[in-house]
Amino acid sequence: MTYHELRINSERLREDMDALARIGRRENHGIYRMAFSEGDMAGRAWLRQRIEDSGLVFFQDGAANLYARLNPNATTPSIIAGSHMDTVPGAGHLDGALGVVCALEALRVLNESSIELKHPLEAVSFSDEEGRFGGMFGSQAIAGLVTPEYLHNASDLDGITLSDAMAAQDLDAGEALHAQRHPDSIHAYLELHIEQGPVLDRKGLSIGIVDAITGLFKWEIALTGMANHAGTTPMDMRADAFQGLAEFAGQIDRVLSEYGSPHSTATIGRVELTPGAANVIPGRALFSLDVRDTDSHILNTLSDAFRRTLSTIARRRDLMFEFTVLSEIAPVQCDASVTSAIEVSVQTLGIPATHLNSGAAHDAQIIAGIAPTGMIFVPSKEGRSHSAAEWTAWKDIEAGANTLLHTLKQLAT
Ligand SMILES: [Zn+2]
């Protein structure tokens, strides 16, 4: 077999994707494999079995990340590929699972080939990417970002702590403090994932080569005026919090076009008016603002511009404004050498591809802090994700898996 003829075993990959999709599935409601739930544990047991069946070396680290290892005794740094198998409640079968199963398949094919590898290869499934306990627990542990405080504070919406949930599965959360890997031990990290957006589907392309993963800031903003009678208060004697919010929302496009980039987005996704009656002027508007871009300088500029805009509107309308920063995540650039290896793979395979950015967060964003990182996207039908309606054509899944395989082979030889 020449390098160019190297391909994943489509039938085996399909059987594995189908088998994993049945684990944690509830009839008509999608998949429930939230971190360290029964569904997640069943998925983990399945993966371990598949790794051992394939003759690869199984390994589990302190954060309960699961690995298949090929060529583990090489003294060179590892090339790691993977994603996560945990899901949001009612999930589809592709988010995360695709990246793990395709990484395993790529290692199996390389194991069966006679290709000589210069690096150890690892397929990984990271713990709690989706955030039952905050998100990206496994990748953060590897990057050394999990602290005793993190472990102390991590709990789910029902108040179950990460430590208790892990203990219930005979796992010790404290071990995550020892899961950190030295940057010198990782040569590259690759993640194959569904796009979770509409771009590839609309363009009819099989592969997206990710250049950057967007950063974001998320605020909760409160505009406070005066609740009053809708009939007796003249228009010029009001402090209407919703009017302030509406004016601010109307300024979003202007702020983005003046201070943003073509990649910038800003979203008010949640609004709460108080007191919330048809015949009362809203005294208070509480709303979210989610702003994203791939450039941290632009994010800072946008943050200033939105604050100025809010302050001007509030002053003119006699409103008080306060905001709380709910989260801030820095954007990440993918590594140029990994990205060009992906480029060579799609050219070798003759797969139609384009470059794009990731608007969603991924483990890759965390690992990029310690290792050269690249991401490969396949289309999401109509951009749908975090829903049982997630769907990608099999030919695109094959294209993604083969691109991952060829990129791993290039990086490892
Ligand atoms: Zn995911």
**pLDDT, tens digit, 9 for 90 and up, residues 43-89:** 999 999 999 999 999 999 999 999 999 999 999 999 999 999 999 99
Sign of the dihedral defined by the CA atoms of residues 357, 363, 366, 372, in that order: negative
CA of 90 to the centre of ligand 1 (A): 14
CA of 71 to the centre of ligand 1 (A): 27
Are the C-beta atoms of residues 303 and 256 closer than 8 Å to each other? no
CA of 130 to the centre of ligand 1 (A): 7
**At residue 2, does pLDDT exceed 60?**
no
pLDDT digits (tens, 9 = 90+) for 117-173: 999 999 999 999 999 998 899 999 999 999 999 999 899 989 999 999 999 999 999
| Nearest one of 39, 11, 112, 108 to 69, comparing CA atoms | 108
User: Which pair of tokens denotes residue 122?
Assistant: 């690892």
Are the C-beta atoms of residues 5 and 393 closer than 8 Å to each other? no
Residue 332 phi/psi, 5° resolution? -130, 135
CA of 101 to the centre of ligand 1 (A): 13
Measured CA to CA, the distance from residue 364 to residue 377 in angstroms comes to 12
CA of 352 to the centre of ligand 1 (A): 23
CA of 50 to the centre of ligand 1 (A): 21
Residue found under tokens 């088998």: 19
CA of 95 to the centre of ligand 1 (A): 5
Residue found under tokens 């909760």: 220
Measured CA to CA, the distance from residue 16 to residue 94 in angstroms comes to 12
CA of 84 to the centre of ligand 1 (A): 6
pLDDT digits (tens, 9 = 90+) for 323-355: 898 888 889 999 999 999 999 999 999 999 999
Measured CA to CA, the distance from residue 128 to residue 83 in angstroms comes to 11
CA of 113 to the centre of ligand 1 (A): 30
CA of 297 to the centre of ligand 1 (A): 26
CA of 194 to the centre of ligand 1 (A): 8
pLDDT for the residue 3:
59
| Nearest one of 399, 351, 410, 411 to 3, comparing CA atoms | 410
- Cα 191 to its chain centre, rounded Å, is 10
Query: Which DSSP string do the residues of 296-324 spell out, in sequence order?
Result: HHHHHHHHHHHHHHHHHHHHHTT-EEEEE
CA of 363 to the centre of ligand 1 (A): 8
CA of 401 to the centre of ligand 1 (A): 16
Sign of the dihedral defined by the CA atoms of residues 335, 293, 402, 53, in that order: positive
**At residue 9, does pLDDT exceed 90?**
yes
CA of 83 to the centre of ligand 1 (A): 7
pLDDT for the residue 173:
97
Q: What is the pTM of this model?
A: 0.87
Identify any residues that bridge with 58 across adjacent strands, giving them in sequence order: 68
CA of 136 to the centre of ligand 1 (A): 10
| Nearest one of 144, 146, 136 to 173, comparing CA atoms | 146
Are the C-beta atoms of residues 387 and 90 closer than 8 Å to each other? yes
CA of 379 to the centre of ligand 1 (A): 14
